[in-house]
Amino acid sequence: MDWSKENELLVIPLLLGCFAVWWLMPSAKKRPRIVGVLAGLAACIMIQGMLLPQAGDYIRSVLFFVFAAAAVISAGLMITDRNPVYSALWFALVTLSVCGLFLLNAAPFLSAATIIVYAGAIIVTFLFVIMLAQQAGTATSYDQQPIQPLMATVVGFILLGVLLFTLQEWGAIDGTSTNEHAEPRQFIAVPAEIQPNPLSQAPHDNPHEIGSLRVLGRSLFGDYLFAVEIAGTVLLIATIGAIAIAPRRAQGTL
């Protein structure tokens, strides 16, 4: 029990989050969703408290918290919503929030590309399919019945706990690591000076430029040319596959 007391800052939000997700799961009995929402919000606030203090640059911090909270809450609602259309829309919100986080990570091109690809293409296609399949527009019975909700939630949150515990122990999330011998950032071990890839054509001198199109393009079409070619081939094959699979056929021909 000592362990759980020492880590109650970590354990309590995890338990709360777990309860929230399980409570929000669709079920035969109608549960008041507000309980789950409140529990989830409480968990988010507590874990947000763990992430403080943030030194300086308050605008950046506030933006990060907003995007992160939006992403997590939207994700939770997405996986628990009874209506697949709403789920898809929640997923769009997750994508937008993630794009905001990309922007904070100095990846403007990536942010734009993700919005275009996901929100513009993937989610729209998903919505098309959902609407094609559920023309009545009402929630179907299989969306009301989750599989093994308790087990899946518990396993998932144990895994999350393990990951967060690792970050806490060796990443010094709150700066008060219980492991006194461990040096900060020991587990996420990276040398302070990264040796640049000698073959890389991307310039490293300006750290503010890493997300720029110029640097990305140099890296993609210089260092990762073959990978890009292969990715293109994969795309082509996937396209052909989708065209071959999707058409309506007589029963039993595929």
Partner 1 sequence: MTATVLESQLVVGATLFILGVVGFLTRRNLILIMLSAELMLHGVSINLTAFSRYHGNPQGQVFTIFVLTIAACEAGLALSLILSLYQRRKSLDIFLWGKLGEDDLPVFTGTPAPPITVSVDPNVDLPHLTPAGRMPKTQPGPQTKT
Partner 2 sequence: MTNWLNENILWLIPAAPLLACLWIVLVGQVIGRKYAHRPLVLGLAVSLAASLYLLTVVVPHGFGHDEHESSHSVMTTVYQWIKIGTIDVPVTLRADAMSALMLTMVTSVSLLVAIFASSYMKGDPGYPRFFAAMSLFVFSMCMLVLAGNFLLLFVFWEAVGLCSYLLIGFWFHKPSAAAAAKKAFVVNRIGDFGLILGIFLIWQTFGTLDFAALFESPKLIDGILAGQPDILHWICILLFIGAVGKSAQFPLQVWLPDAMEGPTPVSALIHAATMVTAGVYLVARCTPFFVHAPYVQMTVAGIGAATALIAAITALTQYDLKRVLAYSTVSQLGYMFMSLGAAGGGEGLALHAVTFAMFHMFTHAFFKAVLFLSAGSVMHAMGDVIDMRRFSGLRKALPITHWTFLAGALALAGVPLLSGFWSKDEILAVLAAASREGEHAGFYGIILAIALLTSLMTAFYTFRAYFMTFWGEEKFPEEAGHHPHDAPPAMAVPLAILAVAALGIGLMTGPTHLYGHYLHHTPGLPHADEFPIDWLMMGISSILAAVGIGTAYQLYVVSPKIVENLQRRLSLAYQASQNGLYIDWFGYKFIAAPLRGLAAICEFVDRWVIDALVDCVGFIPGLFGSIIRPIQNGMVQNYAAVMMLGLVVCLISVLRVLVETH
Residues near partner 2 (CB under 8 A) are 147-148, 151-152, 155-156, 158-159, 162-163, 165-166, 169, 179, 181-182, 187
Smallest distance from the beta carbon of 134 to partner 1, in angstroms?
7
Q: CA-CA distance, 178 to 161, in Å (whole number)?
A: 16
Q: Please give the distance of CA 191 from its chain centroid, rounded to a whole number.
A: 27
Smallest distance from the beta carbon of 159 to partner 2, in angstroms?
5
Cβ proximity to partner 2: between 176 and 195 the closer is 176
Cβ proximity to partner 1: between 4 and 197 the closer is 197
Residue 153's binding partner, choosing from partner 2, partner 1, none, with beta-carbon cut-off 5 to 8 A by kind?
A: partner 1
Smallest distance from the beta carbon of 214 to partner 1, in angstroms?
10
Cβ proximity to partner 1: between 15 and 223 the closer is 223
In angstroms, what CA-CA distances link 15 with 28, 30, 74, 162? 23, 22, 19, 13
Smallest distance from the beta carbon of 85 to partner 2, in angstroms?
22
Residue 181's binding partner, choosing from partner 2, partner 1, none, with beta-carbon cut-off 5 to 8 A by kind?
A: partner 2
Nearest CA-CA partner of 86 in 123, 38, 43, 122: 123
Smallest distance from the beta carbon of 60 to partner 2, in angstroms?
32
Q: CA-CA distance, 77 to 24, in Å (whole number)?
A: 8
Q: CA-CA distance, 75 to 93, in Å (whole number)?
A: 8
Smallest distance from the beta carbon of 105 to partner 2, in angstroms?
26
Cβ proximity to partner 1: between 38 and 167 the closer is 167
| DSSP string of 61-114, one letter each residue | HHHHHHHHHHHHHHHHHHHH-SSHHHHHHHHHHHHHHHHHHHHHTT-HHHHHHH
Residue 204's binding partner, choosing from partner 1, partner 2, none, with beta-carbon cut-off 5 to 8 A by kind?
A: partner 1
Q: CA-CA distance, 103 to 115, in Å (whole number)?
A: 12
Cβ proximity to partner 1: between 21 and 39 the closer is 21
Give the sign of the dihedral formed by CA 180, CA 184, CA 185, CA 189. Answer: negative
Cβ proximity to partner 1: between 1 and 131 the closer is 131
